[in-house]
Amino acid sequence: MTEKEKCEKGLLYDANYDPELIDERITCKDLCLEYNQIKNSDLPKRKELIKKIIKKTKENLCIEPNFWCDYGYNIEVGENFYANHNLVILDCATVKFGDNVFIGPNCSFYTAGHPLDVKQRNAGLEYARPITVGDNVWFGGNVVVLPGVSIGNNSVIGAGSVVTKDIPDNVVAVGNPCKVVKAIDEN
């Protein structure tokens, strides 16, 4: 089984020394660097390149530079996706965003995690767990979402939060660790 196949199955895998994964990350990061250097006024070129990096998108999306990801092919974004400056997505596993997702500046989504066992960690092993974000979700600035987390529809994640566990639909959640502070009433 290849390291990429191990990753896809949620097993420990070698991301640091595997030539296939290194090659894919280099290719993606070169595209991210190119994207980050496009003039803001050149919207058609920005849209064309972001769709080359992120293979699964709808039509209406905007990611402000700087943007970095590991592979790109594991990211899916819905319609009306907006991310402010300095978005980082470590997409070793799938990161899926629904429609009408708005992300404040300096937010990060990490699917990669590392073993607690020091020998495994020092050997360069890691694991990857998917992140899922529902529709109509808003992230304040400086939010970090950790591996394996799902965030429900219509929820708001407050600025500076570190999301370590699933967040349900229709709530405001804040803090480190991020916790639900109130339900969102439709009225």
**Which two structure tokens, joined as six digits, stand for 27?**
């290719």
Cα 81 from Cα 98, distance rounded (Å)? 8
Which residues form the catalytic set? 114
Orientation of helix 43-53 relative to helix 19-36, angle to 10° = 170
Q: Which pLDDT score, from 0 to 100, does residue 187 have?
A: 61
The domain in which residue 162 lies consists of 3-183
Q: Which pLDDT score, from 0 to 100, does residue 185 have?
A: 83
Q: Which positions ≥6 away from 3 have C-beta within 8 Å?
A: 13, 14, 15, 18, 20, 21
**Total domains in the fold of the chain:** 1
Over residues 146-173, the pLDDT tens digits come to 999 999 999 999 999 999 999 999 999 9
CATH number of the domain where residue 78 is located: 2.160.10.10
In contact, 92 and 128? CB cutoff 8 Å:
yes
| DSSP code for 66 | P
In contact, 155 and 172? CB cutoff 8 Å:
yes
- How many other C-beta atoms can be found within 10 angstroms of the C-beta atom of residue 177? 11
Over residues 60-114, the pLDDT tens digits come to 999 999 999 999 999 999 999 999 999 999 999 999 999 999 999 999 999 999 9
Q: Which positions ≥6 away from 119 have C-beta within 8 Å?
A: none
Cα 108 from Cα 87, distance rounded (Å)? 6
Q: Which stretches of 11-154 are assigned E, i.e. beta strand?
A: 13-14, 61-63, 67-69, 75-76, 81-83, 87-90, 95-97, 102-103, 108-110, 112-113, 125-128, 131-133, 138-139, 144-145, 150-151
